[in-house]
Structure formats: C-alpha cells, structure tokens
Amino acid sequence: MAALLHAPYCADQATQRTVTVLENVRLARDTYRVRFGFPELARRITPGQFLMLRLAGGADPLLGRPLALYDAVHDPLAAQESPPPSTAQTSMSSQSPTAFQSPVASQSPVEGQAQTSFPSSASSSPAPNAVDVVYLVKGRMTSRLMHYLPGQTLDVWGPLGNGFPPQETDHLVMVAGGIGQTPFLALAAEHLGLRRYGEPARQVPRVKRVTFCYGARSAGYLAAVEDFERLGVEVKIATDDGSRGRRGFVTELLRETLAEAGTVGSRPRVVCCGPEAMMERAAAIAAEFAAPCQVSLETPMACGIGICFTCVAKVRDDQGGWDYKRTCVEGPIFDAERIEW
C-alpha cells in the first residue's frame, strides 16, 4: 500500500518567510510574473520544484497556492532590502479582516519591462536572491495577487517537490499547455549550460537542442515566449484558434518533433506540464516513439509539504498495482508510464 516516507520525499530544504514583492508585471492575458526577495529559496530551488505562496494575514483564501519556479534571479533590490520581520513576531494576534489589503493595492501594476537576464557563463553570476513565479489569474488568490505592488508582503515556503532530475539526452523536448509553461524556462537554461540551480549547484548534462512545444487558447495568452527564444530554445506554438502558430493541439507539435528527431537519429526526452488530458496524450505520443517522458502533475494541493495527503495521484508500482502518491513530496514530477490516468 502507501509507500514509506523516505528522506528525499520530505520538504527537507524548505523554509518559511514573509517576503517583499519586488515586481509584479503582466506578461500576457491574465498572466503575471511576481518577483520577491528570498535568498535561501533562490539559492536552493531547482527547475520543476515549487513553492507555496499565501497572501499574509487573512483567512480568505485560507490556504497557500503551489506555484512552480519560473526563475531564480539576482535582483539588486532584494540585495538592498533588509529582511522584513517575519509575520510571526509582529502579528501573532488575529488581524482585522481587511488588514491584508493595502490601501494602494487596487492600482494595477504597470506593464513591466523587467527582464530575466542570463549571464553568458554560469559561473560569473552573483548568487540568486530573488524568485520569479508566473501565474494565471483564475481564482480568489491570484485575482488579488495581480494587484499587489512592490513593497507588499507575501508568505512563502519552499523549495518543495522533487523537481526534474537531470535530463540525459541530446534533445530535450518540453511540452506545455497554457500556464504549464512555467517550469520550463529554468529547465532549459540549466540544460543549455547557461545557468545552474540548487545548493550546491547541481551538475546536469549539456543538451544540444531544446525544443519547446507551447500551446495556448489564443495568441494573447502566450507568455514570455521571448524569454525562451533568448536562451536559444526552438519554440513551436499552437493555439486553439490559430491566432498564432499552428491551429490545434500542442501534442501534434510533439508528434512532429519526435518524428523529425527519429529521422536524424537523436534520442529525445520529453517533459510535459499542462492540463491532464494534454499530458496523457503527450505521454501516449512519447510512448509511441519510445521516448522517455516525465510529467509535472498539477493535482490540487492544500499544504504542499506532504502533511495533508490531499494531492494524491494514482501511481503504478513495480508489482503491477497502484498506490496513491502525494504529488507534493513524491512528485510533482513522475515518469509518465507510471501514471494511472
């Protein structure tokens, strides 16, 4: 039945902090990138891991939300900032119901020009001290977060989850549906040898080619495509309405990419994040081409740290049975062939 907890499955590098928003910029329709200072998290987190983010001081929404690492960056603003006192010491008492909403929070953040920049050599960069996450506005938390301004505070804990293991391949194929693109920028940068992540910085094999198959409802939802192009990633786009790129499913772009890879004799690996139906389809296509495939599951979570047993997914074991695995600590990255869709 349920597997034992083993050390790697615990949130063993996680810390919790009240952090200050440095930027909160719109990237695309309903899509924003928020940056906050959190040096320990920025140094430790690796691609495919996530963090929990909560609007401090209120009970609505009550729970934090899991958000994948977009990038860990060095931001001079985070360096100048003295660490804010933890919510713990300053506001242990219950707060007024409106306390968490700043009076200026109703202004929309300006369209941002801030760039994620990649140094030419992984070793020359200063240690990251801030974290970027990209979010889609779709619920009670994100519809408030989009109005947050620099200087406001959030509660954050992480890094969480297993993250992507190093990808041993000459051709990494990343497949994303909608906001599922967020784990892939850092993964691509790392495997192209442009960045390193983790403490100590982990070694990953250098990948010759990275293809990013990116599907969205329409052109307006495509976020930060230029961030990927700047890295030298080959970007292939599909939209439901054909307003940019191919009209139709992103999984068809995957099929073409794998078919082409077969003709040149490369051995691609596939990583995938997005709606479950899309990931199931992508996994089936990867299996057709005998390409190893990993998926990042987005099972609803309550705690993100392995203690509530909410986010379970059916994962097959070696004996042919299945068990509920906690996506937050035993995932979110799983081998696609193990998932009982």
Residues near other proteins (CB under 8 A): 1-2, 4-5, 7, 10-16, 54, 59-64, 85-86, 88-94, 155, 157, 299-300, 302-303, 305-310, 312, 323-324, 329
| Burial of 300 from C-beta contacts in 10 A (0-12 / 13-18 / 19+) | exposed
Cis upstream peptide for 332 (omega within 30°): yes
Would you list the DSSP string of 139-196? SHHHHHHTT--TT-EEEEEEEES--PPP--SSEEEEEEEGGGGTTHHHHHHHHTTS--
Task: Select 97 or 205, whichever has its Cβ closest to other proteins.
Answer: 97
d(CA 297, CA 328): 9
Q: CB of residue 162 vs other proteins: minimum separation in angstroms?
A: 14
Task: Select 289 or 322, whichever has its Cβ closest to other proteins.
Answer: 322
- Reported residue count of the chain is 341
R_g over Cα of the chain? 20
Q: CB of residue 92 vs other proteins: minimum separation in angstroms?
A: 4
3-state SS of the chain: helix, strand, coil percent to 5? 25, 30, 45
d(CA 96, CA 331): 37
Task: Select 1 or 264, whichever has its Cβ closest to other proteins.
Answer: 1
Label residues 83-107 b or e (16+ Cβ within 10 Å = b).
eeeebeeeeeeeeeeeebeeeeeee
Task: Select 41 or 176, whichever has its Cβ closest to other proteins.
Answer: 41
- Mapped onto helix, strand or coil, the DSSP state of residue 272 is strand
CB-based contact 35:114 (threshold 8 Å): yes
Q: CB of residue 318 vs other proteins: minimum separation in angstroms?
A: 17
Task: Select 66 or 215, whichever has its Cβ closest to other proteins.
Answer: 66
CB-based contact 23:32 (threshold 8 Å): no
Task: Select 110 or 308, whichever has its Cβ closest to other proteins.
Answer: 308
Q: CB of residue 140 vs other proteins: minimum separation in angstroms?
A: 9
Q: CB of residue 258 vs other proteins: minimum separation in angstroms?
A: 31
- Mapped onto helix, strand or coil, the DSSP state of residue 124 is helix
Q: CB of residue 59 vs other proteins: minimum separation in angstroms?
A: 4
Q: CB of residue 38 vs other proteins: minimum separation in angstroms?
A: 14
CB within 8 Å of 70: residues ≥ 6 apart: 33, 116, 131, 132, 133, 134, 182, 183, 185, 186
Task: Select 90 or 143, whichever has its Cβ closest to other proteins.
Answer: 90
Q: CB of residue 93 vs other proteins: minimum separation in angstroms?
A: 5
Q: CB of residue 300 vs other proteins: minimum separation in angstroms?
A: 7
Bridge partners (DSSP) listed for residue 53: 65, 156
Tokens 């082409």 label which residue? 260
Task: Select 65 or 196, whichever has its Cβ closest to other proteins.
Answer: 65
Task: Select 103 or 300, whichever has its Cβ closest to other proteins.
Answer: 300
| Burial of 112 from C-beta contacts in 10 A (0-12 / 13-18 / 19+) | middle
